[in-house]
Amino acid sequence: MSAASRLWRRAPLWRFSLYSCIFFLVLAAFFPTPRLLHLLPWLSRLPGSTAHHPASQGGPNPPTAPDGQNQAGNNNNEPLSADRVGAPDINASFTGGIPFGGHTLPLPAGTWHPVLSGQIGPDGAMLVNIMVRTDRGIVTGVMIARTNAKPLPAQGVDAIENPCHDDRNFSSHIASEGNNGVLECWRVSRATLNNGTVSSDDLIRMAFERLHTLGFPVPSVFIVTSWVRAAKAQDGGVTTAGVDTLLAPVQPGTVQLLAPLPYWEKNTVTQAPAAQRFVLATQQWMANWSGVLRSGLTAGLPAGIAPLDLSVDPAAPRL
């Protein structure tokens, strides 16, 4: 009897470990994490793999939306219907900009992936698209874009800029307060991960649940830039657009914050130089990026992409 056969018969724990290795290798092949897919992209081509059939990873099939975009949204936290919310292929990647509601949604620097999209609200009038950007498997940015497929009633639109007057914001800027029928503002604030999400909005909560389910490490704090615009339409209604961009203030390739958690509030940020630098850099970036958002979602961008020099935000992956 050889040494290998004696070991096989006399070491049941060793046999169990060998069986376990084979079992977990098979599991890893058919249910790969985003990090493993990044290292071994050929795993997504295995028949039966969840990466080979991304629609099975959570949520119903994407809905049909205007312009064939499968994109929609909700500004009023209205109940979501399963046939209007979709989980696109998160392995799809986009840079520069994408079509959105008949216009162009500019994308900050880096590669962005779709997380959730839907068409909700009365008659499916609102569109939303939630996207994520990663660096070495870590979430560095989340974008939540909203617009309406057709003009909405004017009631309640005056309140669209109310968040820009919140005293907790790091900064706010009112670009237009009713001039020529346009309300527009942008702000820089903070969002903290709470119960796995940063908002009570149903669609945003579902998007973060999908990121957690797929194994993406998510930082505990985001610095948020928010841009909103409402303009009177010819029929007396209102067209709206809004983009929230969540930027992760973390060390590259990790979820470690640049400064401890208590220093990411308005009244303490000046006590941590790293936190203050990140917030100031975000404010400076947003001062230019707000104009890019306005152009993309109202008039259009040359070649349908954002200017490269203006797209590099403080959390963008560094080459």
For residue 42, is pLDDT > 80? Answer: no
pLDDT of residue 108: 97
* Mean of pLDDT values over 244-261: 96
pLDDT of residue 12: 74
Answering whether pTM is above 0.85, one says no
| Residue 230, CA distances (Å) to 39, 73, 127, 199, 287 in order | 44, 16, 15, 22, 19
**Going by C-beta distance under 8 Å and a sequence separation of 6 or more, which residues neighbour residue 138?**
216, 217, 219, 248, 250, 253, 254, 255
**DSSP per-residue letters across 224-289:** EEEEEEEEE-TTS-EEEEEEEEEE--B-TTS--BSS-GGGSSTTTGGGSHHHHHHHHHHHHHHHHH
Cβ-contact 72, 278 below 8 angstroms: no
Query: Best-predicted range by mean pLDDT among 107-116, 119-128, 199-208, 232-241?
Result: 107-116
pLDDT of residue 213: 94
Cβ burial of 307 (10 Å; 0-12, 13-18, 19+) is: middle
Which residue type, as a one-letter code, is found at position 111? T
* Mean of pLDDT values over 260-265: 95
Choice between 134 and 29, residue whose per-residue pLDDT is larger: 134
Measured CA to CA, the distance from residue 219 to residue 191 in angstroms comes to: 10
* Mean of pLDDT values over 17-36: 63
* Mean of pLDDT values over 168-181: 88
pLDDT of residue 4: 63
